[in-house]
Amino acid sequence: MANNIQPINILDKKSNIDDFSFEHELIIKLKIFYENIPPYLTEMIDYALDVGLNNLYGGTGEYSSITVESVLKVIEICKENSIELPDINNFLKYSYKIEDGWGDIICD
């Protein structure tokens, strides 16, 4: 049973709306959305969700060999499609290690 909403699953011709653990209306809207954006964007969404899901279930440590491949693919797709990458300095000022990957506590 497909339990995520990645484009690769929703756009799969073999998948059925009943295969998903989300409301049918959401799956239908996502399918329409994914079908109407450039394929490179659905590919990027898949890779980005892979990073989040793998870190969510696998945890974040010193280095994530599982997710680095997906990050590199997103960078490659950006370059192939002339999409400007964000400034790395925006990421360097925050450590992913803070509070075991959850970030700084901002309220009590």
Write out pLDDT tens, residues 18-71: 888 888 999 999 999 999 999 999 999 999 988 877 766 555 556 677 788 888
Burial 41-76 (b: 16+ CB within 10 A, else e): ebebbbbebbbeebbeeeeeeeebeebeebeebbee
Is 47 in the same domain as 94? Answer: yes
* pLDDT surpassing 70 at residue 91: yes
Residue 89: which region, alpha, beta or left (left: phi > 0; alpha: psi -120 to 50)?
alpha
pLDDT at 60: 58
Considering the domain boundaries, does residue 108 fall inside one?
Answer: no
The answer to whether position 97 is within a domain reads yes
- Three-class secondary structure of residue 100 per DSSP: helix
Q: For the residues of 30-80, what is the DSSP string, one character each?
A: HHHHHHTS-HHHHHHHHHHHHHHHHHHHH---S--HHHHHHHHHHHHHHHH
pLDDT of residue 5: 82
Please give the model's pTM, rounded to 2 decimal places: 0.76
Q: How confident is the model at residue 90 (pLDDT cuts 50, 70, 90)?
A: confident
Q: What is the pLDDT of residue 79?
A: 97
- Residue 19, C-beta contacts closer than 8 angstroms, at least 6 positions apart: 1, 2
Domain membership of residue 51 as a residue range: 41-102
- Domain membership flag for residue 63: yes
What is the number of domains present in the chain? 2
Residue 17 in any domain: the answer is yes
Q: What is the pLDDT of residue 1?
A: 42
